[in-house]
Amino acid sequence: MVMRTEVAIVGAGPAGLLLAHLLTRAGIESVVVETRSQEYVASRVRAGILEQSSVDVLTAAGLGDRLRAEGHEHRGVYLQWPGGRHHLDFVDLTGRSVWVYGQTEVQKDLVRAHGGPVVYEVTDTALHDLTTDHPYVTYTDRDGVGRRLDAAVIAGCDGSFGPSRAAVPQSARQVYERTYPYSWLGVLADVAPSTDELIYAWHPDGFALHSMRSPTVSRLYLQVPNGTDPQTWPDERVWSELAKRLGHGQDGWTLTPGPITEKSVLPMRSLVQTPMRHGRLFLAGDAAHIVPPTGAKGLNLAVADVARLAPALTALLRGNDPARADRYSDDALARVWRCTHFSWWMTTMLHATSDPFDAQLQLSQLRWVTSSRAGATGLAENYAGLPL
């Protein structure tokens, strides 16, 4: 069976649904196809920090009401190492804040707002004729029926392991990648956060992060070796190690433990595929780039990509003006590489290695960032997000 739309979007995560929503508002038809079930996509626990630019994009798209009612605006973060905790006030430094609002909540808002067609639980997705004016997507639906979706443009928003990134021939792409020698053990806990803002903690035994999802749910991370089995970390060990690395008892601060409801290990890597366009295929979000979560940039980069791509496709399809579409990859990659560098910088500054020389460099860098307004402003500008 053959269907036709203006934009075929592969992937129904935040990037794909936000693009579909923005295109609908511009009067452009799209169809979204997704390998996973709607329930699976909605329940994936991912990013929890929205930079100011992302909040601005979502608000302008009519998606800011629940974010501002239920999200939590944060002025900054704490940087810590044994014996010291220092607050960086982003608002004071740059006039920009961040919001704690989980990706699952953004996904809920997008599902409620987007009334267009989304086809879940498809298999055998493949992209064809990308360098012609008539690209198309084939897939098998949940009933086992083969489908073909013709479009003027295809948007690949299906993550780093989806078919879109792989559809670009090796001769037409360049991949830059860095795998880090450590992972994060992440836990969700049904306990009120023990801090008002995120704590990024350097410790000789490994990095730790105290984040949050709501006033009653905490999100915490520990640096662990690659290949760690979360089953080797019982709850008692998790809380003991978090208390040590986060400075329980330091200056009267206490870490309150609680029931852990989820436990997983997240490998750390950076990846950028260039260009982010191949013919009539445009890549956005994790389909084009991956960053370690230390800088809180993954979801925010996806939003920034889509904020550029939607008007570019609108100009191409409605105004017969290809200029913005032709610039899309270069414009998006400028921000991607800035955020990739920032994520690498935060990661290498905060994660312990076995080299004592590295440790002294890291501590020197932390002291500089927390004592120099110029250093603090640089971190704040990147973390809160440069304007689009």
**How far apart are the C-alpha atoms of 275 and 273, rounded to whole Å?**
6
Q: Which residues are CB-contacts of 251 (< 8 A; sequence separation ≥ 6)?
A: 85
Is residue 268 classed as helix, strand or coil in its secondary structure? strand
Please indicate whether residue 267 is annotated as part of the active site: no
| Contact between residue 121 and residue 268 where contact means Cβ atoms under 8 Å apart | no
The catalytic residue among 101, 200, 221, 328 is: 200
The catalytic residue among 74, 203, 278, 351 is: 74
- From 63, 52, 73, 69, select the one nearest 21 (Cα to Cα): 63
The catalytic residue among 21, 210, 289, 297 is: 297
Q: Which two tokens stand for residue 193?
A: 């956060």
Which H helix or E strand runs over 139? Answer: strand 136-140
Please indicate whether residue 200 is annotated as part of the active site: yes
Please indicate whether residue 297 is annotated as part of the active site: yes
Radius of gyration of the chain (CA): 21
The catalytic residue among 14, 135, 257, 293 is: 293
- The helix/strand count (H/E) of the chain reads as 12, 21
97-127 as b/e: b if 16+ CB within 10 A: bbbbbbbbbbbebbbebbeeebbbebeebeb
Residue 200's alpha-carbon distances to 21, 67, 98, 294, in angstroms, are 35, 24, 15, 9
**How far apart are the C-alpha atoms of 275 and 332, rounded to whole Å?**
10
Q: What angle do CA 341, 346, 349 make, to 5 degrees?
A: 120
**How far apart are the C-alpha atoms of 278 and 173, rounded to whole Å?**
9
Please indicate whether residue 248 is annotated as part of the active site: no
Q: Which residues are catalytic?
A: 74, 200, 293, 297, 383
